[in-house]
Structure formats: C-alpha cells, structure tokens
C-alpha cells in the first residue's frame, strides 16, 4: 500500500481494461437463439461425437468476450506464436499506444465550461481559507 500512489503499471491498466470489458460482456447476458444454442449442429453431430471440433463452436467461441491480452489459442499454436504472456502482450499494446495514440482536443465549449467549474471551485476554496 505504501507504493500504491508512487508506482504505476501501464501494462496492468491494459490488462485491467480487458478484465473489465470481459465483465461488461458477461453482464450483457448470452443471446439464446437456435443458432447460439447450435440446435442443428447438435443434431448433425449426434450424441457422443466431437462437437467441440465443429465449425459452429469456433464461430461462437469469441462471442463471450474477445480480450486483447489473454491468448485463447491452443498450447501448440500459442507456443508457435512466441509463447507471449498477457503481460508481454499488454506491453506491446502500451508501446503501440505510446507511439501512435493521438489525443483528440477537447471541444472549445466543453473546455470553457470545465475552466469555469475550476475557477468557481478555486474561488470557493480561497474564500473558505480566507485568501481573498
């Protein structure tokens, strides 16, 4: 806790963003349709057969969420792609953001309104402290 206000991990913010997005997606609920329930593929594949390998499973695999830092590929494919951890992937995202992100300027009317709020709060603070 002593370091809480003094250290900061941009990679952790990227990972946290992914986790929050997955939670939001979960809170949306799951669509329940014949397609998402895979009624026809279940009938086609049949009891006791390999439904996980069916194309509809992969079509809907990412519908629950699609994180950018967590790799959901199979172990062999993950290893073939460099075995990057979520922290390594988050670091790549941070580097990209730092190099390429362009901050959109605040609209002039919003900036003026924000400055008025700050000015009013500053005046109230000075008045409370007898600094006027």
How far apart are alpha carbons 35 and 33 in whole angstroms?
5
Spatial contact of 94 and 12, defined as CB atoms under 8 Å apart: no
Q: Please indicate whether residue 111 or residue 29 has the higher confidence score (pLDDT).
A: 111
pLDDT of residue 58: 76
CA atoms within 13 A on the CB side of 68: 17
User: Cβ contacts of residue 25 below 8 Å, gap of 6+?
Assistant: 64, 65
pLDDT value of position 1: 57
Query: Tens digits of per-residue pLDDT, 41-88?
Result: 888 888 888 877 788 887 777 677 788 999 888 899 999 999 999 999
pTM surpassing 0.75?
Answer: no
Please state the rounded mean pLDDT for residues 103-125. Answer: 96
**Range of 2-6, 37-41, 52-56 with top mean pLDDT:** 37-41
């Amino acid at each position: 806790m002593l370091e809480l206000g003094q250290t900061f991990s941009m990679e952790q913010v990227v990972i946290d963003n992914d986790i929050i997005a997955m939670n939001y997606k979960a809170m949306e609920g799951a669509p329940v349709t014949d397609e998402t329930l895979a009624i026809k593929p279940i009938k086609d594949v049949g009891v006791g057969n390999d439904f996980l390998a069916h194309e509809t499973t992969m079509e809907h695999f990412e519908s629950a969420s699609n994180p950018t830092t967590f790799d959901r590929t199979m172990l062999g494919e993950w290893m073939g792609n460099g075995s990057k951890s979520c922290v390594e992937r988050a670091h790549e995202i941070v580097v990209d953001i730092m190099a390429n992100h362009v901050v959109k300027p605040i609209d002039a009317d919003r900036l003026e309104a924000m400055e008025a709020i700050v000015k009013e709060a500053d005046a109230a603070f000075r008045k409370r402290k007898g600094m006027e």
